[in-house]
């Protein structure tokens, strides 16, 4: 019988879980959503959701993992046989996300090398990004390189690989984020952009803002995909669960906020105050920002540092996705870590390559009008994750009852927000989650625009 791996202590757990939470979602998605949905209003709505919903769901997931000592499939099944399927659904999410997340991770490595080799002007040219992602071979090589980076760390194990890598990368990530944010907000003319990012505007307060903030929060906190269950199963009983979750939230939100300070004012200055420049989605990071860096004095250096930071953020998230899949294979099939990891690498290449080619030679192949990568993103984020989050609330709120989770939390210290947890898990979260699910599906199918 293998003994379960463990994080060595609370700091190891918090940094590894924060590593999972802080990712591409914080750096490119959060800033443009905030800019699009009323600046400060979005920040405020987001913050309220994090400390209520995000907190409650994360406590539930970590406690489920720690209580059962199992990853998602086993954890749900152990507590109630009928709910084993929730664990199965939760486990499918990282399997869908991991391959395409690595495609984007590969793009990040490419940009890092572009900037380090001094080609900032080339990267700023129109069509550079499209030209790169539509090639058949080059992006696939970067994709494989990124997968291998994640694999090496996962193969080294929980304490020696994941924990150690997080302890090195996460503090560097904080320092780099603060450094770039300070540099960006002190550029001439940046003040108006900062104001645009932070000042609340009432036009931002619509149902759509709340939905957008909620979807972002699930994704950003790595909820509803079994990751926090797996990481919880590696957490020691004596480390405080409530305060760990609070620290992870602060970390995740702080980096998202700083990313906004790096990006919004810079793009604002560059585009001469044109807010539309911020609404470019994925293109913001790979198309608009390189143009911004090219126009800045010292932009070449900032570009290198920025893409290094994004690389760390993406890598620690990819590790958590891979670890979750590996731990499922270990739990279910009793395979060794190395064997499971090799299988996951091959699987990620098999699904990652079509996602990458979907921007080039397979570009005409679309599902529901979406490219292969966008389709995977839609199925995982807009369909499966809300279903898993909803079922988790029902499971905890009505089947095993909040008390089961509370006992687990209390094993390692207090539970100050116990009442809040109960109310959110039983009543508020399930209702709101159904709202996001229905609206996002209708929205994508183009049936109903909110
Ligand atoms: N939380 C990560 C982010 O903000 C995204 C992520 C999703 C990471 C799923 C792991 C798994 O980018």
Assign 3-class secondary structure to 300-363.
HHHHHHHHHHHHHHHHHHHHHHHHHHHHHHHHHHCCCHHHHHHHHHHHHHHHHHHHHHCCCCCC
**Which residue among 219, 229, 230, 251 is best mutated to probe the pocket of ligand 1, counting the most ligand atoms within 8 A of its Cβ?**
219
Q: What is the pLDDT of residues 260-278, one digit of tens each?
A: 999 888 888 888 777 677 7
Ligand 1 pocket (Cβ < 6 Å) reads 20-21, 23-26, 97, 219-220, 222, 225, 227, 317, 320-321
What average pLDDT does the chain have? 90
Q: What is the pLDDT of residues 166-219, one digit of tens each?
A: 999 999 999 999 999 999 899 888 998 899 888 887 777 787 788 788 888 988
Query: How far is the C-alpha of 265 from the C-alpha of 244, rounded, in Å?
Result: 32
* Residue 357: both structure tokens together: 């080619």
What single string gives the DSSP state of each residue in 166-226? Answer: HHHHHHHHHHHHHHHHHHHHTSTTHHHHHHHHHSB-GGG-SHHHHHHHHHHHHHHTT-SSS
The more confidently predicted of residues 40 and 369 is 40
Query: How far is the C-alpha of 132 from the C-alpha of 287, rounded, in Å?
Result: 11
Q: How much is the CA Rg of the chain, to the nearest whole Å?
A: 21
pTM for this prediction: 0.91
**Which residue among 317, 379, 388 is best mutated to probe the pocket of ligand 1, counting the most ligand atoms within 8 A of its Cβ?**
317
Question: Which atom of ligand 1 lies nearest, measured to the CA of 26?
Answer: 4
Question: What's the average model confidence in pLDDT over 17-44?
Answer: 89
- pLDDT band of residue 280 (cuts 50, 70, 90) is low
Query: How far is the C-alpha of 331 from the C-alpha of 70, rounded, in Å?
Result: 7
Phi, psi for 370 (deg, rounded to 5): -115, 155
Smallest CA-to-CA distance from 82 within 399, 426, 396, 402 is with: 399
Task: Give the count of alpha carbons within 13 A of 315, CB side only.
Answer: 27
Lowest mean pLDDT among 49-58, 113-122, 150-159, 361-370: 361-370
Distance (Å) from CA 93 to ligand 1 centroid: 11
Distance (Å) from CA 318 to ligand 1 centroid: 8
| Residue 297 DSSP class | T
Q: Whose CA is nearest to atom 10 of ligand 1?
A: 317
Enumerate residues 6+ apart whose C-beta is below 8 A from 410. none
């Amino acid at each position: 019988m293998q003994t379960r791996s463990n994080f060595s202590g609370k700091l190891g757990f918090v940094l590894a879980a924060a590593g999972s939470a802080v990712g591409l979602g914080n750096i490119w998605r959060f800033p443009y959503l905030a800019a699009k949905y009323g600046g400060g209003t979005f920040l405020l709505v987001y913050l309220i959701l994090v400390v209520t919903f995000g907190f409650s769901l994360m406590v539930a997931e970590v406690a489920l993992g720690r209580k059962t000592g199992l990853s998602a499939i086993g954890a749900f099944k152990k507590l109630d046989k009928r709910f084993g399927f929730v664990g199965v659904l939760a486990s499918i999410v990282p399997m869908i996300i991991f391959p395409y997340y690595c495609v984007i991770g590969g793009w990040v490595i490419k940009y890092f090398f572009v900037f380090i080799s001094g080609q900032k002007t080339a990267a700023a040219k129109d069509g550079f990004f499209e030209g790169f992602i539509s090639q058949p071979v080059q992006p696939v090589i970067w994709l494989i390189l990124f997968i291998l980076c994640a694999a090496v760390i996962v193969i080294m194990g929980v304490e020696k690989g994941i924990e150690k890598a997080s302890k090195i990368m996460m503090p560097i990530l904080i320092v780099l984020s603060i450094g770039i944010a300070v540099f960006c907000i002190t550029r001439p003319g940046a003040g108006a952009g900062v104001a645009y990012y932070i000042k609340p505007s009432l036009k931002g307060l619509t149902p759509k803002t709340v939905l957008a903030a909620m979807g972002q929060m699930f994704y950003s906190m790595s909820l509803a995909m079994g990751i926090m269950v797996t990481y919880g199963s590696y957490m020691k009983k004596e480390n405080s669960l409530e305060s760990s979750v609070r620290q992870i939230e602060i970390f995740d939100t702080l980096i998202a906020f700083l990313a906004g300070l790096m990006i919004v004012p810079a793009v604002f200055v560059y585009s001469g105050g044109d807010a539309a420049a911020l609404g470019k989605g994925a293109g913001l990071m790979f198309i608009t920002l390189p143009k911004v860096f090219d126009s800045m004095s010292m932009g070449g250096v900032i570009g290198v540092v920025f893409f290094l930071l994004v690389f760390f953020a993406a890598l620690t998230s990819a590790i958590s996705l891979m670890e979750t899949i590996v731990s499922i294979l270990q739990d279910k099939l009793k395979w060794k870590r190395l064997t499971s990891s090799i299988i996951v690498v091959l699987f990620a290449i098999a699904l990652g390559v079509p996602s990458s080619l979907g921007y080039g030679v397979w570009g005409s192949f679309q599902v529901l009008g979406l490219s292969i990568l966008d389709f995977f993103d839609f199925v995982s984020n807009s369909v499966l994750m809300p279903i898993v989050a909803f079922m988790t609330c029902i499971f905890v709120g009505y089947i095993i009852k909040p008390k089961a989770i509370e006992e687990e939390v209390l094993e390692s210290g207090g539970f100050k927000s116990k009442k809040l947890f109960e109310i959110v898990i039983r009543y508020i979260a399930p209702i709101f989650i159904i709202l996001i699910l229905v609206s996002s599906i209708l929205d994508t199918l183009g049936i109903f625009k909110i």
